[in-house]
Structure 1
Amino acid sequence: MTTRRPLALVYRGGATEPGCPESVAALLRRSRWNFDVHYVGPRERVKLTRAALGVATVYAQPGGATLGPAWRQMRRHRDTVREFVAGGGRYLGFCLGGYLAGATPGFDLIPGDADQYIASTGAGVATTDATTVEVRWRGYRQPLYFQDGPLFELSPAPHTPVDVLANYANGQVAALVTDFGSGRVGVVGPHPEADSHWFADSGLRTPESSGVAAGLDLIDAVMC
Structure 2
Amino acid sequence: MRLPALLGRFRAAPARGDGPLALVHRGPATVPGCPEAVAALLASSRHGFDVRFVGPRERLRPTPAVLSAATLYAQPGGGTLEDAWPHVRRHRGPIRDLVAAGGRYLGFCLGGYLAGATPGFGLLPGDTDRWIDTRGATVTHDGDALVRVDWCGAERTLYFQDGPRFLLDPGAAGTVLARYPDHEVAAAVTPFGAGRVGVVGPHPEAGADWFADAGLPRADARDLGLRLIDEVMA
Partner of 1:33: 47
Partner of 2:226: 216
Query: What aligned pairs does 1:130-145 form with structure 2 within 5 A after superposition?
Result: 130-145=144-159
- TM-score between both structures, scaled by the size of structure 2: 0.92
Among candidates 152, 158, 168, match of residue 166 of structure 2: 152
- Write out per-residue CA displacement over residues 69-119 of structure 1, whole angstroms, 9 at most, x where no aligned residue: 100111111111111110111000000000000000100101010100000
Whether 2:38 is the aligned partner of 1:24: answer yes
1:16 counterpart SS class: coil
- TM-score between both structures, scaled by the size of structure 1: 0.96
Whether 2:56 is the aligned partner of 1:42: answer yes
2:94 counterpart SS class: helix
Partner of 2:6: none
Where structure 1 has 5 or more consecutive residues not aligned to the other structure, the ranges are none
Partner of 1:172: 184
Whether 2:113 is the aligned partner of 1:99: answer yes
Whether 2:68 is the aligned partner of 1:58: answer no
- Take 1:144 and 1:122, find their aligned partners in 2: how far apart are those partners? 18
1:50 deviates by: 1.4
Partner of 1:78: 92
The answer on whether the counterparts of 2:102 and 2:195 sit within 8 Å (CA) in structure 1 is yes
- For the aligned residue pairs, the C-alpha RMSD in angstroms reads 0.9
1:156 deviates by: 2.3
Whether 2:125 is the aligned partner of 1:111: answer yes
1:4 deviates by: 3.5
- Take 1:49 and 1:59, find their aligned partners in 2: how far apart are those partners? 12
Query: What is the aligned residue count?
Result: 218
Among candidates 25, 28, 34, match of residue 14 of structure 1: 28
- Take 1:68 and 1:200, find their aligned partners in 2: how far apart are those partners? 29
Partner of 1:184: 196
1:221 counterpart SS class: helix
Where structure 2 has 5 or more consecutive residues not aligned to the other structure, the ranges are 1-16
1:54 deviates by: 1.7
Instruction: Find runs of 4+ consecutive structure 1 residues off by over 2 angstroms.
Output: none
Partner of 1:127: 141
- Take 1:156 and 1:90, find their aligned partners in 2: how far apart are those partners? 23
- Write out per-residue CA displacement over residues 134-185 of structure 1, whole angstroms, 9 at most, x where no aligned residue: 1011010110000000000011242xx1100000000000000011001100
Partner of 2:4: none
2:166 counterpart SS class: strand
- Take 2:70 and 2:223, find their aligned partners in 1: how far apart are those partners? 24
